[in-house]
């Protein structure tokens, strides 16, 4: 939709991977719609995933006992975060939709993406209790997880060895995105990406582009425990 702002936070090392192709097609399709699209390519940026004293410019709030959460919060309030974090927060502020594109690692996101979450979505910027969940500071923004898995869909079913894929989404979608106020769209999951035939890969990419063509008409999921664990 013309005039919409989108941020893609991309965490894959290989442009020729399915994740890379999905990211590229996302940029192309959304630009066709007249959207302004920004990409944070975390590996290309060599984004620092660690939360350290180096994130704070100037004096610490409590130099005798370093607490990253408190220090980042106070630094955000005082304009004392490093430039890389300020730039990412500006991108988030502008975006009406944030798409996270990544391969699933150990039932979660890659460390470099988790580090982006840890360092960018700090207190005061993304949340400030009790301003969390439906009252989170990033409310009125949409978020979507688009990711690939190693295992097939059956493996991530209720009776599969990994359990229902929705169980894994609880900490990522609810514990991070919804906590910060995002309205969460249904995830885009590409199962067993490394074992896809060329035909299946083409179908997967085509289906994603088709979804993007109506993405602005979608309604967010009901981000409540029942959505994730209703079949237990």
Question: Above 90 in pLDDT, residue 231?
Answer: no
Tell me the CA distances in angstroms from 85 to 57, 88, 90, 187, 232, one per residue in order. Answer: 11, 5, 9, 26, 39
Whole-number pLDDT of residue 45: 98
* Number of helical H runs and strand E runs in the chain: 8, 6
**Residue 2 scores a pLDDT above 90:** no
Both tokens of 161, joined, read: 């060895």
Rounded to an integer, the average pLDDT of 146-174 is 96
The arithmetic mean of pLDDT across residues 105-123, rounded, is: 98
Helix (H) or strand (E) holding 25: helix 18-32
Q: What is the mean pLDDT of residues 177-194?
A: 97
**178 C-beta neighbours (distance < 10 Å), count:** 24
| Chain CA centroid to CA 36, Å | 18
> Residue 45 burial by CB count (10 A; 0-12/13-18/19+): exposed, middle or buried?
middle
On the question of pLDDT at 148 being above 90, the answer is: yes
Average pLDDT in the 209-220 region?
Answer: 98
Whole-number pLDDT of residue 232 = 64
Measured CA angle at 147 (ends 73, 52), to 5 deg: 25
Confidence band for 22, pLDDT divided at 50, 70 and 90: very high
Between CA 218 and CA 14 the distance in angstroms is 30
Tell me: pLDDT of 10 over 70. Answer: yes
What is the pLDDT averaged over residues 113-134?
A: 97
5-229: CATH topology: Rossmann fold (3.40.50)
Quote the mean pLDDT of the chain: 97
Q: What is the per-residue pLDDT for 1?
A: 72
pTM above the 0.75 mark? Answer: yes
Q: Examine the pLDDT at 20 and tell me if it is beyond 70.
A: yes
Is the pLDDT reported for residue 129 higher than 80?
yes
Average pLDDT of span 181-199: 96
pLDDT in tens, 58-75: 999 999 999 999 999 999
Q: Where are the domains of the chain?
A: 5-229
**113: phi then psi, degrees, rounded to nearest 5:** -75, -40
Q: How far apart are CA 149 and CA 82, in angstroms?
A: 33
pLDDT exceeds cutoff 90 at 19: yes
pLDDT tens readout for residues 23-58: 999 999 999 999 999 999 999 999 999 999 999 999
């Amino acid at each position: 939709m013309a005039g919409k702002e989108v941020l893609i936070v991309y965490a894959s090392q290989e442009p020729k991977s399915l994740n890379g192709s999905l990211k590229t097609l996302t940029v192309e399709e959304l630009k066709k719609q007249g959207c302004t699209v920004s990409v944070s390519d975390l590996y290309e940026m060599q984004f620092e995933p660690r939360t350290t004293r180096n994130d704070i410019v100037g004096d610490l709030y409590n130099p005798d006992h370093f607490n990253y959460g408190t220090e980042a919060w106070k630094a955000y309030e005082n304009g004392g975060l490093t430039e890389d974090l300020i730039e990412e927060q500006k991108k988030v502020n502008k975006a009406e939709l944030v798409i996270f594109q990544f391969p699933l690692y150990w039932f979660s996101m890659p460390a470099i993406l988790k580090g982006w979450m840890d360092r960018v979505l700090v207190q005061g910027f993304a949340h400030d209790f009790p301003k969390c969940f439906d009252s989170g500071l990033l409310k009125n923004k949409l978020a979507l997880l688009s990711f690939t898995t190693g295992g097939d869909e059956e493996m991530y079913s209720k009776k599969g060895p990994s359990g229902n894929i929705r169980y894994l989404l609880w900490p990522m979608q609810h514990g991070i995105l919804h906590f910060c106020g995002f309205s969460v769209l249904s995830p885009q999951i590409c199962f067993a990406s490394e074992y896809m035939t060329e035909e299946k890969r083409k179908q997967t990419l085509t289906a994603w582009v088709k979804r993007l063509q109506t993405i602005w008409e979608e309604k967010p999921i009901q981000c409540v425990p029942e959505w994730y664990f209703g079949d237990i």
